[in-house]
Amino acid sequence: MTLGFFDPIAETLERLQLRELQLRRVQELLAEILPRNGFYAKKLGGHRVKTWDDFQELPFTTKSEIAEDQEENPPYGTILTYPLERYTRFHQTSGTTGKAPIRVLDTEESWEWWARCWGHVYRGAGVGPGDRVFFAFSFGPFIGFWAAYEGARTVGAMTLPGGGMQTEQRLKFMLDNNATVLCCTPTYALRLAELAEQAGVDLSGSAIRATIHAGEPGASVPGVRARIEQAFGARCHDHTGMTELGATGFTCQEQAGPHLIETEFVFEVIDPSTLKPVPRGAQGELVATNLGRASMPLIRYRTGDLVQLDETPCRCGRTFARLIGGILGRADDMVVVRGMNVFPSAIEGVLREFPEVSEFRIEVFSKRSMVELNVLLDPRPGSEDDLAMRVSNRLNDRLLLRVPCELVPPGSLPRFDLKAQRLVHRDD
Ligand SMILES: [Zn+2]
């Protein structure tokens, strides 16, 4: 195994060869699923894919379509390609406010596929035999780090499960077992760091040398990444993926934005309003087709994630395209304030430059029918009183937007283990 690569040939294919490989795999996928998969047989009807132009004629798939299909044909819908007895793993999406989760099943083959995709993530982070990967995560039906847990064996690393523990116990468990890699949300890494500091433990002197994050965009936000790297004395890595889609991306040692696993997916970037491809390198919504999960496939699936794609080769040698700045935000998280598009992740990036800010909340409300923002800062004990003003000034400098900030008593805002909800819509 070449250092840093999971599959050296695949990861360095010329882009033209990569596109040929993808097209062939799309054709194989359609040949496999169309005779068996009710959902796609109905949706794709007589479509045939001989060229990329044909592929772009295929209709998009949305999350709500799958949810409706599962509601009409409970519990799993008509999207399973094979008889139910072929499936061995169950997961469901975390389910956003007001929406039912989507139930997702895997077969032995597709679970192996997930594990291989995670092989890319681990090798990108330089993880291999001798590493002990600690999961600071409560394992439940949400896929979270289940696939990561499974995938660690593809690179020969040991796994340390951290479910059913309080944060204090997790910290001790991680240190007692000399964990070398930490997997959790960026928020939870900061929570562990906060607790360690209170307990007088210097995490930068621990065996942790890499952290891998998912579930939130934080690890690609420079301010958040710097804070995690400083607290743990470790390299901070981002990972992108979705329960219904698979593990889509990983960062390499260059930290030049997550690479997309293009041998296992076809990615497109579209303008969410016109549904047309954006010009090369422009921002838009990520659309993905998984190539290795015929058992519950997704074709041209609209992720709702806003991204900017760079197809130039990376300094690491991989030709897989990269997401510049990671996931920039959710299309539906964007707030328009005085004509400017604002993403909560951009605000977080600035806030994390202030070590005095332990936690925060972004409030959105309307004032005289204008959308306004307000940021609540939960400071570390003993912070200076002018913190709110300094943060507000820096937000103004960086985002060119006046955002009032106010301090709340230390420890008064909620802490999160998973999928932090820091954006709150307030009714005034
Ligand atoms: Zn790279």
Separation CA 239–CA 33 (nearest Å):
28
Is residue 364 within 8 Å of 333, Cβ to Cβ? no
Mean pLDDT of 12-29: 97
Is residue 283 within 8 Å of 270, Cβ to Cβ? no
DSSP H helices in 34-165: 38-44, 52-55, 63-72, 108-124, 146-151
- Give the Å distance between the CA of 239 and the centre of ligand 1: 13
Mean pLDDT of 84-104: 85
Two tokens, residue 130: 């001798």
- Give the Å distance between the CA of 411 and the centre of ligand 1: 39
pLDDT for 95 equals 65
Separation CA 66–CA 381 (nearest Å):
47
Ion ligand 1: residue ranges with CB closer than 5 A = 252, 254, 314, 316, 318
- Give the Å distance between the CA of 307 and the centre of ligand 1: 17
For 6, the 3-state DSSP assignment is: coil
Mean pLDDT of 126-151: 93
Q: Quote the crossing angle between the two packed helices 186-198 and 222-232, to the nearest 10°.
A: 40
For 11, the 3-state DSSP assignment is: helix
Report which of 237, 319, 246, 340 is spatially closest to residue 288, judged by C-alpha positions: 246
Report which of 214, 267, 251, 210 is spatially closest to residue 233, judged by C-alpha positions: 210
HSE-CB at 283 with a 13 A cutoff on CA atoms is: 12
Which DSSP string corresponds to 255-312?
A: -SSPEE-TTTEEEEEE-TTT-SBPPTT-EEEEEEEESS-TTS--SSEEEEEEEEEE-S
pLDDT for 3 equals 59
- Give the Å distance between the CA of 254 and the centre of ligand 1: 6
Is residue 105 within 8 Å of 89, Cβ to Cβ? yes
Is residue 18 within 8 Å of 263, Cβ to Cβ? yes
- Give the Å distance between the CA of 161 and the centre of ligand 1: 29
Assign 1 a pLDDT band (cuts: 50, 70, 90).
very low
- Give the Å distance between the CA of 198 and the centre of ligand 1: 36
Assign 419 a pLDDT band (cuts: 50, 70, 90).
low
As a whole number of Å, the CA-based R_g of the chain is 22
Residue 97, pLDDT > 90, answer: no
> Considering the chain, what percentage of its residues have pLDDT values greater than 90?
74
Q: Which distant-in-sequence residues (6+ apart) come within 8 Å of 287 by Cβ? A: 60, 267, 268, 269, 270, 300, 301, 302, 303
Mean pLDDT of 352-378: 90
- Residues 171-195: tens digit of each pLDDT: 999 999 999 999 999 989 999 999 9
Report which of 15, 47, 18, 17 is spatially closest to residue 30, judged by C-alpha positions: 47
- Residues 259-286: tens digit of each pLDDT: 999 999 999 999 887 899 999 998 899 9
Mean pLDDT of 298-313: 95
> Distance of CA 349 to CAs 182, 273, 354, 380, 395, Å?
21, 27, 10, 18, 10
- Give the Å distance between the CA of 56 and the centre of ligand 1: 28
- Give the Å distance between the CA of 10 and the centre of ligand 1: 14
Two tokens, residue 361: 């909340």
Mean pLDDT of the chain: 92
Looking at residue 175, its amino acid is: L
- Give the Å distance between the CA of 368 and the centre of ligand 1: 48
- Give the Å distance between the CA of 280 and the centre of ligand 1: 19
Residue 2, pLDDT > 60, answer: no
- Give the Å distance between the CA of 259 and the centre of ligand 1: 7
pLDDT for 45 equals 86
- Give the Å distance between the CA of 169 and the centre of ligand 1: 35
Identify the DSSP state of 313. P
pLDDT for 4 equals 78
Assign 98 a pLDDT band (cuts: 50, 70, 90).
low
